[in-house]
Amino acid sequence: MTIGITGATGQLGRLVVKKLKAKVPSADIVALIRTPARAAGLGISVRGADYDKPETLDPAFAGIDTLVLISSSELGQRRAAQHHNVIEAAKRTGVKRIVYTSLLHADTSPLNLADGHRGTEAGLRLSGIPFTILRNGWYTENYTASVPAALAGGAFLGSAGNGRISSALRVDYADAAVAVLTSDGHEGKTYELAGDEAYTLSDLAAEISRQTGRTIPYNNLPEADYAAALTGLGLPEPLAHAYASYDVGASQDALFDNGRQLSALIGQPTTPLATAVADALKQAG
Ligand SMILES: NC(=O)c1ccc[n+]([C@@H]2O[C@H](COP(=O)([O-])OP(=O)(O)OC[C@H]3O[C@@H](n4cnc5c(N)ncnc54)[C@H](OP(=O)(O)O)[C@@H]3O)[C@@H](O)[C@H]2O)c1
């Protein structure tokens, strides 16, 4: 059985490839990627596959039994169109199963990100191809990436209020992808994947304070002020506004889930927040 993985040069995709190689022969895994120049070190065969160029997808998918569609990093309508191209090519080339990385509670999520995922999930259901949907929750790394800025500025900034955040590390979501690829019984299933323990951004700031011995409070800002702060830190304006809006969603518990389906799927607890913070502090030097 040949497993093709899109987005294999991305941060999640690389982890999926690495962990899958520990479970199945490398000869059975193919990286389906946009930028072959980034493939060095993957250690599996590589085919060019650009979501925006349907003509690249049919040759890339030839002979692929299971396709792991890692959602595109493009935002908005274009992403839905890209995923549509992938599903249509999968139909044409006889792919037997698709595993798709969606968004936690994609059917009800207030995050504007959810629109494209809803469209792709509907496309999968209509495709006739057996599928498994991994509704991935927030990456803890999205927040721990702000640890250096918090240390430099003396406060952790955000707009998430007291929203409960059930994030998990990319490595936990990669384990979930490998679990559904290497065990039976996942066809037609939709998994809501999230970390075991929810935290607020105040909890996160307290953990950073505990581990550094400094006082780093959480400073909750109105959405526009947080977006401006992110722009000030060098983020492009559209991205800063998007991140601030996700935090407002978080304040409404859009990133919360207590079903513990992720740890059930991977057969171990998700990585604790304290470990994620320790890793981030190590990286920050
Ligand atoms: N759950 C969360 O918190 C969260 C946060 C951010 C994103 N996401 C979603 O999860 C996905 C995976 O996360 P990640 O951290 O691995 O993101 P990432 O590091 O940005 O990787 C995205 C991957 O998508 C590929 N890609 C983008 N446009 C493409 C196209 N036109 N054709 C083919 N491939 C294309 C990129 O290829 P290149 O290597 O060529 O650039 C890259 O490999 C993201 O793309 C996004 O949909 C989730």
Checking if the pLDDT of 76 tops 90, the result is no
Specify the pLDDT at position 161. Answer: 98
Structure confidence at residue 112 as a pLDDT band (50, 70, 90): very high
Residue 264, pLDDT above cutoff 90: yes
CB 94 within 8 A of CB 105: no
Closest among 21, 29, 98, 30 to 66, alpha carbons compared: 98
pLDDT digits (tens, 9 = 90+) for 202-246: 999 999 999 999 999 999 999 999 999 999 999 999 999 999 999
Ligand 1 pocket mutation pick from 19, 42, 52, 72 by most atoms within 8 angstroms of CB: 72
Task: Mention every residue, 6+ apart, whose C-beta is less than 8 A from residue 218.
Answer: 155, 156, 158, 200, 201, 202, 204, 205, 206
Distance 9 CA to ligand 1 centre (A): 9
Cα–Cα distance for residue pair 134/275, rounded to 1 Å: 24
Task: Quote the pLDDT of residue 208.
Answer: 98
Q: CB of 138 closer than 6 A to ligand 1?
A: yes
- 69, 99 Cβ separation under 8 angstroms: yes
Q: What is the CA radius of gyration of the chain?
A: 19
Question: pLDDT averaged over the chain?
Answer: 97
pLDDT recorded at residue 89: 98
With a pLDDT cut of 70, the percent of the chain lying above it is 100
Q: In angstroms, rounded to a whole number, what is the distance separating the alpha carbons of residues 279 and 67?
A: 32
Q: How many Å lie between the centroid of ligand 1 and the Cα of residue 278?
A: 25
**CA-angle at 103, arms to 117 and 143, nearest 5°:** 135
Q: pLDDT by residue (tens digit) across 156-210?
A: 999 999 999 999 999 999 999 999 999 999 999 999 999 999 999 999 999 999 9
CA-CA-CA-CA torsion sign (13, 157, 262, 109): negative
Exposed e or buried b per residue across 147-180, where buried means at least 16 C-beta atoms within 10 angstroms of its C-beta: bebbbeeebbbbbbbebbbbbbbbbbbbbbbbbb
Give yes or no for residue 71 CB within 6 A of ligand 1: yes
**Cα 217 to ligand 1 centroid, rounded to whole Å:** 32
User: Which tokens sit at 218?
Assistant: 């959480």
Continuous H helices in the chain: 11-21, 54-61, 77-93, 114-127, 140-144, 147-153, 170-182, 201-212, 223-232, 237-251, 261-266, 273-284
**Rounded CA gap, 220 and 247, in Å?**
10
What pLDDT is stored for residue 285 in this prediction? Answer: 83
28 pocket-lining for ligand 1 (C-beta < 6 Å):
no
DSSP characters over 20-81: HHTTS-GGGEEEEES-GGG-TT--SEEEE--TT-HHHHHHHHTT-SEEEEPPPS--THHHHH
Q: What share of the chain has pLDDT > 90, as a percent?
A: 97
In the numeric block, which tokens belong to residue 132? 């498994």
Average pLDDT over residues 30-48: 95
* Beta carbon of 26 within 6 Å of any ligand 1 atom: no
Ligand 1 in reach of 146 Cβ (< 6 A)? no
Give yes or no for residue 75 having a pLDDT over 90: no
For the residues 83-100, what does the mean pLDDT come to? 98
Is the minimum distance from the CB of 86 to ligand 1 under 6 angstroms? Answer: no
pLDDT recorded at residue 77: 82
What's the average model confidence in pLDDT over 114-131? Answer: 97
What is the per-residue burial (b if ≥16 Cβ within 10 Å, else e) of 14-30?
bbbbebbbeeeeeeebb
Q: Which residues pair with 157 in a beta bridge?
A: 219
Q: What is the pLDDT of residue 210?
A: 98
Q: What is the mean pLDDT of residues 40-65?
A: 97
pLDDT range class, residue 262, cuts 50, 70, 90? very high
